[in-house]
Amino acid sequence: MNNIKKIVQEKYGAIANQSLQLASTSSCCGTSGCCGELEFNMIGNEYKGVKGHNPDADLGLGCGIPTQFAEIKPGHQVLDLGSGAGNDCFVARSLVDETGKVTGLDFTEAMVIKARENNSIMGYTNIEFIQGDIEDMPLPDNAFDVIVSNCVLNLVPDKHKAFAQMHRVLKPEGHFCVSDVVIKGHLPEKLRKDAELYVGCVSGAIDLDEYLGIIQKQGFQNVTIHKQKEIIIPENILKKLISEEEIEALKKEVTGIYSITVSGSK
């Protein structure tokens, strides 16, 4: 598990350190193309027109817009897990207004530095970015009204710990809304374990029912899937990872990779 964390930290650190281009690739790997040929289009231009969206903080690393269904209100204390360069934090800040606060937590030091630089330009005083592990958050109990996260929890090795920590730091009446990647059906092990694909937001994802089961096991209620979208892996990419026989078998099975946006309350 520590090796997985190291891979994620190194890859996302490289993305954060690379100069951003004006035109996004809309890839889950971001504008850096860090995943080489293993890139998958995720949400495209969905953030266009979203209040608070900061193009300079949008590295194209998401698989949804969790703030869309998070019911964030003025005055709320909001936590963004895997906050990256700060994009979803800036969107959340536009919803909490001056009376609330947004905290971004990210595992990668370079991302935290990038987010703080972006916020310095914006001049917001009610956004904070800190470095920390989602499995062991350096945050107090019962501190947040809402938790959001965008294509990050699937990269966390121990999802039980992640959701347990989320439950701990939420206020008694708090709730979460996250966008993430899950699997339906069986995927060949090569697709699950390839390190580059892992940081491309696909491997590391677990079965949808298992994912929902983990959420419920940690005590969350009213678990609701608001949106789901199949992620199509181009055949030329599949051929680099698995055999022709496996590709044919995959086509016949009821299986797929999906981005979902799900919420739950404490």
Domains (range + CATH), the chain = 2-265 (3.40.50.150)
pLDDT tens for the chain, 266 residues: list them.
556 666 555 555 455 455 333 333 444 444 444 444 444 445 555 787 899 888 776 767 788 999 999 999 999 999 999 998 899 999 999 999 999 999 999 988 888 999 999 999 999 999 999 999 999 999 999 999 999 999 889 888 899 999 999 999 999 999 999 999 898 887 777 766 664 554 455 657 889 999 999 999 999 999 999 999 887 777 777 787 788 888 887 777 767 888 899 999 99
Q: Chain-centre distance of CA 196, in angstroms?
A: 16
Alpha-carbon distance values, 41 to 31, 47, 92, 102, 171 (Å): 12, 14, 24, 28, 35
Amino acid symbol at 213: G
Cα gap 166→82, rounded to integer Å: 13
pTM assigned to the model: 0.83
Question: How much is the pLDDT for 15?
Answer: 52
Question: How much is the pLDDT for 11?
Answer: 58
Cα gap 53→75, rounded to integer Å: 19
Residue 144 phi, psi (nearest 5): -125, 145
Residue 38 phi, psi (nearest 5): -90, 70
Question: How much is the pLDDT for 22?
Answer: 33
Classify residue 23 by its DSSP letter: S
Task: Give helix 109-122 / helix 2-17 axis angle, nearest 10°.
Answer: 40
